Amino acid sequence: MRSHKTGRSGGQAQQENFDIIQTTFGLLKRGNFRYSASYLILLITLSFAPFSSVLATQTEARPFVHHKTYILPSGKKVAVTFQERPCNKRECGEADAGTWGTDGGVPRFVSDTFLVFINDRQFLIPEKFYRDLTNTHSVSVSEQKGRVLIELKGGDAAGAYTGRFLLGGMCGFERKICGEICSEIWERSIWYNSFAYDSDPLCKSGID
């Protein structure tokens, strides 16, 4: 749950700083001081103080949300929705080797939704294959030998990861986890959609 902070608003802080500037001018006049460069720098610093705090608030990290429909060269229409949410209280513990996107500490966000539709037909990706991803910042979709490839990137520096989901028709997928520059595979998983095998005659040899 997000906490609500109380205190001065940016407008109140700005008004207070203007009052300080006006008071400073009055003191300078009464003391017959000359407006030297140092006094001007002081006044400029005071006048811009509230804007820096507002900028910091605006750039505060937020959960990643992605919703886009892609038209691939083969003509396939692929719609992807991926979104994070803040961790609930006591939901997220210290990150371990099985959490991708952070270099230790407690993750701020948890991946909550990963929906894929190919030509308006949902492609199932079980929750356990994306709940271990955090701090995601980009999603891209392409094709590889006729198969849909969804690539997720997240984290930064030592905590950066790339997650590649290579979809095999509706029969299953292969997931690979690697670094920001994917030169070495850290983890590889294959999932078979057992429900599709009963209804799709093309599901004969794994995800191919």
Cβ-contact 153, 160 below 8 angstroms? yes
pLDDT recorded at residue 136: 93
User: b vs e for 78-98, b when ≥16 Cβ sit within 10 Å of the residue's Cβ?
Assistant: bbbebbbebbeeeebeebeee
Which two structure tokens, joined as six digits, stand for 113? 């939704």
Residue-level pLDDT, tens digit, the chain, 208 residues: 333 334 444 555 556 655 655 665 565 555 554 545 555 555 556 555 554 444 444 456 789 999 999 999 999 999 999 999 988 777 776 656 668 888 777 778 889 999 999 999 999 899 999 999 989 999 999 999 889 999 999 988 888 999 999 997 667 899 999 998 888 999 999 888 766 655 666 665 444 4
Taking alpha carbons only, the member of 176, 190, 192, 168 closest to residue 118 is 168
Q: Is 157 helix (H, G, I), strand (E, B) or coil?
A: helix
pLDDT recorded at residue 197: 56
CA distance 193 to 178: 24
CA distance 3 to 10: 18
Cβ-contact 54, 48 below 8 angstroms? no
Q: Find all residues with CB under 8 Å of 129, minimum gap 6, and list them.
A: 114, 165, 175, 189, 191
Taking alpha carbons only, the member of 22, 21, 25 closest to residue 43 is 21
Cβ-contact 71, 142 below 8 angstroms? no
